[in-house]
Amino acid sequence: MTRVLILGGGGMVGQKLAQKLEAEGLDGTPVTLTLHDIAFPDGGVGTDRRVGNLSVQAEGAALAAERFDVIYFLASIVSGEAETNFDLGWQVNMLPMWHFLEALRAQHRATGGAYVPRVVFTSSIAVFGGPYPDKIGDEFLTSPQTSYGAQKAACELMVQDFSRKGFIDGLSLRLPTICVRPGKANLAASSFFSGIIREPLNGQEAILPVADTVRHWHASPRSAAGFLTHAGTLDTERLEGRRALNLPGLSCTVAEQIEALRDVAGNNVVALIKPEPNPAIAKIVDGWPRNFAPDRATALGFKAEASFRDIIDVYIEEDLNDR
Protein backbone atom coordinates (compact mmCIF):
# COMPACT_ATOMS: atom_id res chain seq x y z
CA MET A 1 0.00 0.00 0.00
CA THR A 2 1.45 3.37 -1.10
CA ARG A 3 0.81 6.31 1.21
CA VAL A 4 -0.01 9.44 -0.80
CA LEU A 5 -0.33 13.07 0.34
CA ILE A 6 -1.95 15.71 -1.88
CA LEU A 7 -1.18 19.28 -0.83
CA GLY A 8 -3.86 21.45 -2.36
CA GLY A 9 -6.16 18.44 -2.37
CA GLY A 10 -9.31 20.57 -2.15
CA GLY A 11 -8.72 22.27 -5.50
CA MET A 12 -10.08 21.10 -8.83
CA VAL A 13 -6.93 19.30 -9.98
CA GLY A 14 -6.37 17.86 -6.50
CA GLN A 15 -9.88 16.44 -6.47
CA LYS A 16 -9.51 14.97 -9.97
CA LEU A 17 -6.21 13.40 -8.93
CA ALA A 18 -7.69 11.97 -5.73
CA GLN A 19 -10.60 10.51 -7.66
CA LYS A 20 -8.23 8.81 -10.12
CA LEU A 21 -5.99 7.47 -7.35
CA GLU A 22 -8.95 6.08 -5.42
CA ALA A 23 -10.18 4.29 -8.53
CA GLU A 24 -6.89 3.07 -9.99
CA GLY A 25 -4.11 3.40 -7.42
CA LEU A 26 -0.58 4.20 -8.56
CA ASP A 27 0.55 1.97 -11.40
CA GLY A 28 -1.91 -0.65 -10.16
CA THR A 29 -0.78 -0.45 -6.52
CA PRO A 30 -3.53 0.52 -4.02
CA VAL A 31 -3.01 3.77 -2.13
CA THR A 32 -4.06 5.39 1.11
CA LEU A 33 -4.86 9.05 0.53
CA THR A 34 -4.42 12.11 2.72
CA LEU A 35 -5.59 15.46 1.34
CA HIS A 36 -4.56 18.81 2.80
CA ASP A 37 -5.95 22.25 1.94
CA ILE A 38 -7.37 25.41 3.46
CA ALA A 39 -10.88 24.22 2.47
CA PHE A 40 -12.65 21.37 0.70
CA PRO A 41 -15.73 21.25 -1.54
CA ASP A 42 -18.90 19.81 -0.11
CA GLY A 43 -19.19 16.15 -0.99
CA GLY A 44 -15.69 16.09 -2.44
CA VAL A 45 -13.32 13.16 -2.77
CA GLY A 46 -11.22 11.87 0.12
CA THR A 47 -11.94 10.58 3.61
CA ASP A 48 -8.71 11.72 5.32
CA ARG A 49 -9.05 15.45 4.66
CA ARG A 50 -6.91 17.84 6.71
CA VAL A 51 -7.82 21.52 6.87
CA GLY A 52 -4.86 23.82 7.42
CA ASN A 53 -2.53 26.44 5.95
CA LEU A 54 0.87 25.49 4.55
CA SER A 55 2.01 29.08 5.05
CA VAL A 56 2.22 28.13 8.73
CA GLN A 57 5.61 26.45 8.91
CA ALA A 58 4.61 23.97 11.63
CA GLU A 59 1.77 22.72 9.43
CA GLY A 60 4.12 21.43 6.75
CA ALA A 61 6.56 20.05 9.33
CA ALA A 62 3.81 17.97 10.93
CA LEU A 63 2.81 16.53 7.56
CA ALA A 64 6.43 15.80 6.63
CA ALA A 65 6.84 13.89 9.89
CA GLU A 66 4.23 11.38 8.70
CA ARG A 67 6.69 10.27 5.98
CA PHE A 68 4.38 9.75 3.05
CA ASP A 69 5.73 7.75 0.10
CA VAL A 70 4.44 10.06 -2.65
CA ILE A 71 3.68 13.76 -2.18
CA TYR A 72 1.88 15.93 -4.71
CA PHE A 73 2.54 19.64 -4.15
CA LEU A 74 -0.38 21.40 -5.85
CA ALA A 75 -1.00 24.16 -3.29
CA SER A 76 -0.77 27.73 -4.59
CA ILE A 77 -2.72 30.87 -5.34
CA VAL A 78 -3.55 31.52 -8.98
CA SER A 79 -1.79 33.75 -11.50
CA GLY A 80 -4.03 36.80 -11.42
CA GLU A 81 -4.00 36.95 -7.62
CA ALA A 82 -0.24 36.44 -7.46
CA GLU A 83 0.28 39.29 -9.90
CA THR A 84 -1.96 41.79 -8.11
CA ASN A 85 -0.82 40.89 -4.58
CA PHE A 86 2.97 40.63 -4.77
CA ASP A 87 3.58 39.83 -1.09
CA LEU A 88 0.89 37.18 -0.88
CA GLY A 89 2.12 35.50 -4.05
CA TRP A 90 5.60 34.89 -2.68
CA GLN A 91 4.34 34.03 0.80
CA VAL A 92 1.98 31.36 -0.54
CA ASN A 93 3.61 30.13 -3.75
CA MET A 94 7.29 30.02 -2.75
CA LEU A 95 7.99 30.10 0.99
CA PRO A 96 5.85 27.05 1.92
CA MET A 97 7.79 24.97 -0.62
CA TRP A 98 11.09 25.92 1.02
CA HIS A 99 9.85 25.16 4.53
CA PHE A 100 8.23 21.89 3.48
CA LEU A 101 11.33 20.66 1.65
CA GLU A 102 13.41 21.56 4.69
CA ALA A 103 11.02 19.51 6.82
CA LEU A 104 11.41 16.55 4.45
CA ARG A 105 15.19 16.96 4.66
CA ALA A 106 14.94 16.75 8.45
CA GLN A 107 13.06 13.45 8.08
CA HIS A 108 15.70 12.23 5.64
CA ARG A 109 18.39 12.93 8.24
CA ALA A 110 16.35 11.37 11.06
CA THR A 111 16.18 8.08 9.14
CA GLY A 112 19.86 8.03 8.26
CA GLY A 113 19.02 8.85 4.66
CA ALA A 114 16.49 6.04 4.24
CA TYR A 115 13.49 8.31 3.75
CA VAL A 116 13.49 9.76 0.23
CA PRO A 117 9.92 10.55 -0.85
CA ARG A 118 8.72 11.09 -4.39
CA VAL A 119 7.67 14.76 -4.65
CA VAL A 120 5.68 15.88 -7.70
CA PHE A 121 5.34 19.65 -8.03
CA THR A 122 2.77 21.25 -10.33
CA SER A 123 4.65 24.02 -12.07
CA SER A 124 3.36 26.05 -15.01
CA ILE A 125 4.17 27.15 -18.55
CA ALA A 126 4.27 30.64 -16.97
CA VAL A 127 7.95 29.94 -16.11
CA PHE A 128 8.71 30.91 -19.72
CA GLY A 129 8.95 34.39 -21.20
CA GLY A 130 9.21 35.75 -24.73
CA PRO A 131 10.27 36.32 -27.32
CA TYR A 132 9.16 32.81 -28.26
CA PRO A 133 9.97 30.52 -31.17
CA ASP A 134 7.08 28.99 -33.12
CA LYS A 135 7.24 26.04 -30.74
CA ILE A 136 9.00 25.93 -27.39
CA GLY A 137 11.31 22.94 -27.24
CA ASP A 138 12.84 21.24 -24.25
CA GLU A 139 15.98 23.38 -24.46
CA PHE A 140 14.21 26.76 -24.20
CA LEU A 141 15.26 28.88 -21.21
CA THR A 142 12.97 29.88 -18.35
CA SER A 143 12.50 33.65 -18.08
CA PRO A 144 9.13 34.34 -16.42
CA GLN A 145 7.41 37.65 -17.03
CA THR A 146 4.90 37.44 -14.17
CA SER A 147 5.30 37.04 -10.42
CA TYR A 148 3.38 33.76 -10.60
CA GLY A 149 5.82 32.41 -13.18
CA ALA A 150 8.79 33.55 -11.10
CA GLN A 151 7.38 31.80 -8.03
CA LYS A 152 6.88 28.57 -9.94
CA ALA A 153 10.40 28.77 -11.40
CA ALA A 154 11.87 29.30 -7.92
CA CYS A 155 10.09 26.17 -6.68
CA GLU A 156 11.37 24.19 -9.65
CA LEU A 157 14.94 25.08 -8.68
CA MET A 158 14.33 23.98 -5.10
CA VAL A 159 12.93 20.62 -6.24
CA GLN A 160 15.91 20.22 -8.56
CA ASP A 161 18.52 20.91 -5.86
CA PHE A 162 16.91 18.91 -3.05
CA SER A 163 16.68 15.99 -5.50
CA ARG A 164 20.30 16.40 -6.59
CA LYS A 165 21.33 16.14 -2.95
CA GLY A 166 19.23 12.99 -2.49
CA PHE A 167 16.85 14.43 0.13
CA ILE A 168 13.82 13.83 -2.12
CA ASP A 169 13.15 12.20 -5.49
CA GLY A 170 11.30 15.06 -7.13
CA LEU A 171 10.13 16.37 -10.45
CA SER A 172 8.28 19.45 -11.66
CA LEU A 173 5.49 19.24 -14.20
CA ARG A 174 4.90 22.38 -16.26
CA LEU A 175 1.17 22.03 -16.71
CA PRO A 176 -0.60 23.51 -19.71
CA THR A 177 -3.60 25.68 -18.90
CA ILE A 178 -6.17 23.19 -17.64
CA CYS A 179 -9.38 23.55 -19.60
CA VAL A 180 -12.33 23.12 -19.33
CA ARG A 181 -12.33 23.63 -15.55
CA PRO A 182 -15.60 22.68 -13.83
CA GLY A 183 -17.28 24.87 -11.23
CA LYS A 184 -17.11 28.62 -10.94
CA ALA A 185 -14.50 30.97 -12.38
CA ASN A 186 -11.45 31.73 -10.23
CA LEU A 187 -8.99 34.64 -10.16
CA ALA A 188 -6.54 33.10 -12.61
CA ALA A 189 -5.81 35.31 -15.59
CA SER A 190 -6.40 32.19 -17.71
CA SER A 191 -9.86 31.58 -16.25
CA PHE A 192 -11.65 32.86 -19.35
CA PHE A 193 -10.25 30.01 -21.48
CA SER A 194 -12.57 27.68 -19.54
CA GLY A 195 -15.29 30.26 -19.02
CA ILE A 196 -16.01 30.79 -22.71
CA ILE A 197 -16.79 27.08 -23.00
CA ARG A 198 -18.23 26.22 -19.60
CA GLU A 199 -20.64 29.12 -19.18
CA PRO A 200 -22.31 28.86 -22.61
CA LEU A 201 -22.72 25.09 -22.24
CA ASN A 202 -24.52 25.84 -18.97
CA GLY A 203 -26.72 28.44 -20.63
CA GLN A 204 -24.90 31.44 -19.20
CA GLU A 205 -23.17 34.44 -20.74
CA ALA A 206 -19.35 34.40 -20.85
CA ILE A 207 -17.00 37.37 -21.13
CA LEU A 208 -14.08 37.13 -23.55
CA PRO A 209 -11.42 39.64 -22.37
CA VAL A 210 -8.87 39.10 -25.16
CA ALA A 211 -8.84 38.96 -28.96
CA ASP A 212 -9.91 35.68 -30.54
CA THR A 213 -6.51 35.51 -32.25
CA VAL A 214 -4.82 34.69 -28.91
CA ARG A 215 -3.17 31.27 -29.10
CA HIS A 216 -2.56 29.14 -26.02
CA TRP A 217 -1.55 25.68 -24.77
CA HIS A 218 -4.27 23.51 -23.17
CA ALA A 219 -4.97 20.11 -21.62
CA SER A 220 -8.04 18.75 -19.86
CA PRO A 221 -8.45 18.04 -16.13
CA ARG A 222 -8.47 14.35 -17.06
CA SER A 223 -5.06 14.75 -18.67
CA ALA A 224 -3.78 16.67 -15.65
CA ALA A 225 -4.70 13.79 -13.34
CA GLY A 226 -3.04 11.40 -15.79
CA PHE A 227 0.16 13.48 -15.85
CA LEU A 228 0.33 13.40 -12.05
CA THR A 229 -0.30 9.70 -11.58
CA HIS A 230 2.23 8.87 -14.29
CA ALA A 231 4.80 11.09 -12.56
CA GLY A 232 4.16 9.33 -9.25
CA THR A 233 5.92 6.16 -10.40
CA LEU A 234 8.15 7.42 -13.24
CA ASP A 235 11.75 6.18 -13.19
CA THR A 236 13.43 9.53 -12.56
CA GLU A 237 16.80 8.17 -13.74
CA ARG A 238 15.33 8.65 -17.21
CA LEU A 239 15.25 12.42 -16.56
CA GLU A 240 19.07 12.46 -16.59
CA GLY A 241 19.18 15.10 -13.88
CA ARG A 242 16.79 17.55 -15.57
CA ARG A 243 13.76 17.32 -13.35
CA ALA A 244 11.36 19.84 -14.92
CA LEU A 245 9.21 18.72 -17.85
CA ASN A 246 7.16 20.55 -20.47
CA LEU A 247 4.02 18.45 -20.75
CA PRO A 248 1.97 17.55 -23.82
CA GLY A 249 -1.05 19.64 -24.70
CA LEU A 250 -2.94 21.24 -27.53
CA SER A 251 -2.16 24.61 -29.12
CA CYS A 252 -5.14 26.51 -30.48
CA THR A 253 -6.50 30.03 -30.83
CA VAL A 254 -9.53 31.34 -28.99
CA ALA A 255 -11.30 31.40 -32.35
CA GLU A 256 -10.56 27.68 -32.75
CA GLN A 257 -11.91 27.04 -29.26
CA ILE A 258 -15.11 28.84 -30.21
CA GLU A 259 -15.43 26.91 -33.47
CA ALA A 260 -15.06 23.63 -31.56
CA LEU A 261 -17.84 24.80 -29.24
CA ARG A 262 -19.99 25.71 -32.25
CA ASP A 263 -19.40 22.22 -33.66
CA VAL A 264 -20.54 20.65 -30.39
CA ALA A 265 -23.40 22.93 -29.33
CA GLY A 266 -24.40 25.24 -32.18
CA ASN A 267 -24.64 28.96 -32.87
CA ASN A 268 -27.07 29.84 -30.08
CA VAL A 269 -24.61 28.62 -27.46
CA VAL A 270 -21.68 30.45 -29.09
CA ALA A 271 -23.76 33.64 -29.10
CA LEU A 272 -23.52 33.69 -25.30
CA ILE A 273 -19.81 34.66 -25.61
CA LYS A 274 -19.49 38.44 -25.30
CA PRO A 275 -16.20 40.20 -26.22
CA GLU A 276 -15.23 42.70 -23.54
CA PRO A 277 -11.53 43.69 -23.75
CA ASN A 278 -9.59 43.73 -20.48
CA PRO A 279 -6.11 45.26 -20.99
CA ALA A 280 -4.75 43.91 -17.68
CA ILE A 281 -5.63 40.32 -18.55
CA ALA A 282 -4.50 40.77 -22.14
CA LYS A 283 -1.09 41.98 -20.95
CA ILE A 284 -0.57 38.95 -18.71
CA VAL A 285 -1.74 36.47 -21.34
CA ASP A 286 0.41 38.12 -24.01
CA GLY A 287 3.50 37.11 -22.04
CA TRP A 288 2.59 33.41 -21.98
CA PRO A 289 3.79 30.65 -24.32
CA ARG A 290 1.58 29.59 -27.21
CA ASN A 291 2.91 26.27 -28.49
CA PHE A 292 5.31 23.51 -27.46
CA ALA A 293 7.25 20.56 -28.79
CA PRO A 294 7.32 18.49 -25.54
CA ASP A 295 9.45 15.67 -26.92
CA ARG A 296 10.98 14.58 -23.59
CA ALA A 297 7.64 14.21 -21.84
CA THR A 298 6.09 12.43 -24.81
CA ALA A 299 8.99 9.96 -24.91
CA LEU A 300 8.49 9.39 -21.16
CA GLY A 301 4.86 8.37 -21.71
CA PHE A 302 2.90 11.53 -20.84
CA LYS A 303 -0.25 11.97 -22.98
CA ALA A 304 -2.89 14.64 -23.66
CA GLU A 305 -5.79 15.34 -26.04
CA ALA A 306 -5.37 15.65 -29.81
CA SER A 307 -8.04 18.31 -30.46
CA PHE A 308 -9.97 20.98 -28.57
CA ARG A 309 -13.14 19.09 -29.43
CA ASP A 310 -11.70 16.24 -27.36
CA ILE A 311 -11.22 18.64 -24.44
CA ILE A 312 -14.83 19.84 -24.67
CA ASP A 313 -16.02 16.23 -24.84
CA VAL A 314 -14.16 15.47 -21.60
CA TYR A 315 -15.94 18.35 -19.87
CA ILE A 316 -19.35 17.25 -21.16
CA GLU A 317 -18.73 13.66 -20.10
CA GLU A 318 -17.38 14.41 -16.62
CA ASP A 319 -18.47 17.84 -15.44
CA LEU A 320 -21.28 19.51 -17.37
CA ASN A 321 -23.74 21.19 -14.97
CA ASP A 322 -21.24 20.82 -12.09
CA ARG A 323 -21.41 24.43 -10.84
Catalytic residue set: 148
Number of H helices, E strands in the chain: 13, 12
- Closest residue by Cα to residue 219 from 261, 191, 247: 247
**How far lies 265's CA from each of 133, 233, 269, in Å?**
34, 39, 6
**How far lies 79's CA from each of 88, 196, 212, 230, 296, in Å?**
11, 18, 21, 25, 26
H helix or E strand, kind and range, residue 23: helix 12-24
> 282-305 burial, b for 16+ CB within 10 Å, e for fewer?
eebbebbbbbbebebbeebebebb
CA distance 217 to 186: 19
CA distance 54 to 96: 6
